[in-house]
Structure 1
Amino acid sequence: MLTYPMLDPVAFSIGPLSVHWYGLMYLFGFLAAWLLGRYRAAQPGSGWNAGMVDDMLTSCILGVVLGGRIGYILFYDLTYYLQNPIQMLHVWNGGMSFHGGLLGVIICFWLFARKNRISIFDIGDFAAPLVPPGLFFGRIGNFINGELWGRHTTAEVGMIFPGGGPFPRHPSQLYEAALEGVIMFVLLWVFSGRRPPRRCVSGLFLILYGSFRFIVEFFREPDAQLGFIAFSWLTMGMLLCLPMIAYGLFLCIQGKRRNEYL
Structure 2
Amino acid sequence: MRFNPMIYFVGAGPGDPELLTVKGQRLLQQADLIVYTGSLVPLQVMDCCRADAVKINSAPLTLQEIIAVMVEHHHQGRLVVRLHTGDPSLYGAIGEQMKELDRLGVPYEIVPGVSSFLAAAAAVKKEYTVPGGSQTVIITRLAGRTPVPPEQSLASLARHKGSMAIFLSVGMARQVQQELLQGYPPATPVAVVERASQPGERVIQGQLSDLARLVQEAGISRTALILVGDFLTCQGQSQLYNGEFKHGYRPGE
Q: Is the strand fraction higher in 1 or 2?
A: 2
Q: Is the helix fraction higher in 1 or 2?
A: 1
TM-score of the alignment, normalized to the shorter chain, above 0.5: no
TM-score category (smaller protein): under 0.3
- TM-score, normalising length: structure 1: 0.26
